[in-house]
Structure 1
Amino acid sequence: MRLISSLLAAAIMATILLVRTPALLQDPDSWWHIRVGLDMLATRVFPTIDSYSHSFAGQPWIAKEWLSQALLALAYKGAGWNGVVLAIVAAISLTVFLLAWQFGEALKPSIALALALSLALLSAFVFTARPHVFTLPIIVVWTACLFRSAGAGRPPGFGLLVLLWLWANLHASFTLGFVIAAFAGLEILIRYRLAQPRLLAQWCIFGALCPLVSLINPYGLKAILATFTVAGANEAVPLITEWRPFNASATPLNEAALLLMLLGLLVSGLRIGLARALFVLFALHLYLAHERFVYVFFLLVPVVLAVQVAEQFPALSIRTWMTEQRDGLERFLLGHYRLAFGVSVALVMGTGVVLTRGPAIEPSQKTSAKDALAFAAQRGLSGPVLNSYEFGGTLIFHGVKTFIDGRTDQLFLNGFTQADDATGRSAGKPLLQTQLRKYGVDWALLSAGDNRIPFFEELPGWTRAYSDRYAVIYTRSR
């Protein structure tokens, strides 16, 4: 029943994602991640300097998420954007399967299924075609296994370090794994203090190996150091939607879920221990500070607390369920488990078939600027471009060097991103003119809502050459 419920959860998630495919391709960074992956596959070279922008060309830059970028590129080469969506759906569905499986070890199957699906849908904000999605299955297993070992008073499974190595090559968030391991180790320290020196030493050795294993990547220490450029007061962070603080008015369902979870912790009398309580606060802080960490709270906190809930509320536990009579649905699924497996597999495979052989999927022109770029190619527009941030990815994908793009974790710093933002403010016209002269800009590709459009309409020597509902192109008179 645990396996059936986990498969059903994954199959239902895959079906939901099939309906939501446009949302999976809404992020402009998907474009440049694929281009970087395609270039690495073609050249067999890991980049060390920027070759995709004209404003920071030659500056140090590393593809620290190279493995995810290669996976996205392979998916794109195999089936275009349909292949990319299929890869993302597979990663998310696997995450939901693993969530339901982990919950099913302690909680009733029906609760495990419903909880896994609900929490995944609450985290849907981050379900886009970007590298971090490939790490979601890893982070669920990493967190569940470490806290399970800590709760049982066992040493950590050193085989988990293989997952950390994969994580370090897939996405820069791997340093979060160090923090999770530290919270689990803290539980051991609080519970046993120095009474179990061998056990404590094993956890300390595991913690020391974490950063060492993470060094096994094409860039070594640079990959770890690059993660701190975001955490260390990166000027672009306040300007990027996903890095902004939690906005309750924009996500009322998430606010309701957040309040219900906190209410449950406050009134249920659930005893979770200091280390797990600190982890809950840590996850809550990350989510409230940066919306992109929604998955840390909604996926990982329930994983950490599931065993305590089952132990202190037996009515919800798998042990109680084992002694109960099966309800009608459960009797049907267990009596027709081959059918249940077949339906689950059919749903998953059907999703794959629809994505690979169905109508071609393309990202919205909100990020692709497809028609505008076709016009630019037809007119032979070349030379340095000034672009809206959301068009940086598609420009890189199509071989046009950008003014700014989504790689602000390493580039476009030292006041550059702040200055770019200031050019769209009420007094930004003189600064815009300065930027145009400084970088020798010959044409501009702006989103239809870019605040700099009124300035370009007034700038001498600049002409609107193209416009549609998504993009505007301006050219400089020669």
Structure 2
Amino acid sequence: MLVALIVGTLRMAAKPISDPDSWWHLRVGELLWSGEITLRRTGPLSSFATEPWTPRDWIPQLVASALERSFGLPGVAWLFGVGLVAFIVTAYLVARRQADPLPAALVTGLGFLGAAGSLSPRPQIVSFVLLLVFVGAWLQSAQDLRPRWWLIPMTWVWASSHGMWYLGVAIGILSVIGIVLDRRLAIRRVGRLFLVPALSLVAAAVTPPGPTLLLAVVQTGDKWEFVTEWAPPNFLSLTPAASMLMVALVALIWARRGTRLSWHHLLLLLLATAMVLMSGRTVAAGAAILIPLLAMTLQQVLYDRPPHRLVPQETQSLWAASALAVATLALLVPRTSAVAGSVPNDLNNELASLPQGSALLNDYALGGWLHWRHPDLDTVIDGFTDGYTVEAIEEYISAVGAGPGWDEYVDETGARYALLQEESPLAYALTQQLSWVEVGEDEGYVLLRHPSR
């Protein structure tokens, strides 16, 4: 079952890169390598992005950009596949500490399904892998009451890889509270355990961006409403439904068994449930937390005894399957992922011929790709909302819908070119009311120019 799941990830990774946010991550990596921006001195990706921002994903951005520079987009696709395999292997090993192979494999598959909606070629995949590591480590600390000091430098790595690092600290704090409530450890002796999440905060504060990283999430919270990922999850969709099924299974089995619950496990379940309910983006985080909880629950139902230890043959088979999958992926991606997906590649020549520095009225989903593929163009918007004011985003949304004042917005941008969805109200208004001329179209997008050009 596990090998089949690992092989199945090849189909996810061996595709053209099409996630809209992957592109601006690659562009930031390029700018970091070139020295045009640094971890303490950032700059706008376009003249329309006027807000200061804090680097939160610089390690995976540098790695992905280096692979892209050496191997092209197949290198990025291969890195994504490595991340998927890492998630599956980590999930199984964490679940395996709590259950025998069968329930561990079942839960790994269900957890992967619950997280799949957010597993994309972006730095956030690092968060989901490390979240599994942190949950597994704290479950072990709850059993032997020993602090895992290595979680502190691991937090530094996490805080340098993705903005969801704070969940690792939250799990540590909740775990310490749960251990105290379970009366496993007297309050006066809990200090050593509490030092782990406390010093983890310090570790995040001493990353290259400095203490501003601690407030980065709060500073950008006013823009979440514009990001689809932060909208409430749709439980008619497969991945949120799978995660909620995991919540229901744990809760119902605990209730039916009628045994005394551990506060530590209950607090983790509450955190996972909050993540699943919070937004589409956090569903995967909830699934990751639920994997070891559901594994231990199924172990109690199926066997009602502690799990058998991992045996060498088991781990050897797991690593062999992983290595084979990664090697196979390296052979596949040059044929399947060499060209960007879901973008107007046929318009590359026309876009490259535009005057350097031209302001471009672009579709939101294309902003990151334009930063990466055509960095000399001055795009109006992209998915990196940290760099824009709320007012700028609202004005753009209104203009794309041809709302009141859309023509004034076009004049204010100074744009003489536009790359928009062919059926968008703004594209229609530009051609029908302002006589903009169509230059070309591809993948449902149309390139327009001002009639004076």
TM-score between the two structures when normalised by the length of structure 1? 0.84
**Whole-angstrom CA distance in 1 between matches of 2:193 and 2:320:** 43
Q: In the alignment, residue 47 of structure 2 is paired with which amino acid?
A: H
Q: Does 1:295 align with 2:284?
A: yes
**Aligned-partner Cα distance in 1 for 2:94–2:356:** 54
Question: How much has 1:14 moved relative to structure 2?
Answer: 3.9
Equivalent runs, 1:191-340 vs 2, <5 Å:
191-192=182-183, 195-198=186-189, 200-230=190-220, 232=221, 234-235=222-223, 237-249=224-236, 251-252=237-238, 254-255=240-241, 258-259=244-245, 261-266=247-252, 267-269=255-257, 271-304=260-293, 306-307=295-296, 310=299, 312-313=300-301, 315=303, 317=305, 319=307, 340=317
How far did residue 454 of structure 1 move? 2.1
* 1:443 alignment partner in structure 2: 417
- Alpha carbons of structure 1 residues 297 and 449: separation in structure 2 relative to 1, 3 Å: farther
Q: What whole-Å deviation, never above 9, does each CA across 1:42-79 have from its counterpart, x for those lacking one?
A: 2285153433112125x423332111100111221232
Identity of aligned residues (%): 21
Residue from 392, 397, 410 that aligns with 1:421 = 397
| Partner-residue secondary structure (3-state), 2:197 | helix
C-alpha distance in structure 1 between counterparts of 2:238 and 2:113, whole Å: 13
The residue identity in structure 1 corresponding to 2:434 is: P
Structure 2 match to 1:468 = 442
Give how far 1:99 is off.
1.3
Q: Residue by residue, what CA displacement relative to the aligned partner does 1:350-408 show, whole Å, maximum 9, x if unpaired? A: 423324654553231x3x32222322224557521111110111111021222111111
Q: 2:179, 2:263 within 8 Å by CA — same for their partners in 1? A: no
Give the 5 Å matches for 1:8-19: 9=2, 11-19=3-11
CA contact (8 A) 1:156 1:203 kept: yes
Deviation, structure 1 residue 203: 2.4
For residue 268 of structure 1, report the CA deviation from its aligned partner. Answer: 3.1
CA contact (8 A) 1:142 1:163 kept: no
Secondary structure, in 3 states, of the residue corresponding to 2:449? strand
CA distance in 1, matches of 2:314, 2:96: 17
Residue of structure 2 in register with 1:362 after alignment: 339
Asked if structure 2 preserves the Cα contact closer than 8 Å seen for 1:99 and 1:140, the reply is yes
Q: What's 2:348 paired with?
A: 373
1:446 offset after TM fit, Å?
A: 0.8
**1:395 equivalent in structure 2:** 370
Give the distance between the partners of 1:405 and 1:109, measured in 2 at CA: 44
The one of 362, 366, 382 equivalent to 1:405 is 382
Within 2, Cα distance between the matches of 1:215 and 1:342? 35
CA distance in 2, matches of 1:342, 1:193: 36
Aligned length: 446
1:44–1:472: structure 2 CA closer, same or farther, 3 Å change rule?
Answer: closer
Q: For the residues of structure 2 that align with 1:120 and 1:418, how far apart are their CA atoms?
A: 35
CA pair 123-422 structure 1, distance change in 2 beyond 3 A: same
Aligned pairs for 1:136-215 within 5 A: 136-152=128-144, 154-192=145-183, 195-198=186-189, 200-215=190-205
CA contact (8 A) 2:114 2:241 kept: no
CA distance in 1, matches of 2:315, 2:153: 34
Kept after mapping to 2: 8 A contact 1:86/1:356: yes
1:348 equivalenced with 2:348 (yes/no) = no
What SS is found at the alignment partner of 1:362?
Answer: coil
After TM superposition, give the deviation of residue 150 of structure 1 in Å: 2.0
Distance apart, 1:137 and its partner CA: 2.3
Residue 253 of structure 1: CA displacement?
A: 6.0
Change (3 A) 1:197 1:23: farther
Residue segments in structure 2 that go unaligned for 5+ positions in a row? none
CA distance in 1 between counterparts of 2:295 and 2:27 reads 41
* AA partner of residue 388 (structure 1): D
> Which moves more between the two structures, 22-31 or 208-217?
22-31
TM-score between both structures, scaled by the size of structure 2: 0.89
What's the offset of the Cα at 1:192?
2.8
**Secondary structure in 2 matching 1:415:** helix
1:249-295 CA-partner distances (Å, limit 9, x unpaired):
3x146425524641552253364333432332232222222111122
Partner residue in 2 for 1:99? 91
What amino acid maps onto 1:182 in structure 2? I
Q: 1:56 to 1:247 in 2, by over 3 A?
A: same
* Structure 1 gap segments, 5+ residues each: 1-7, 323-332
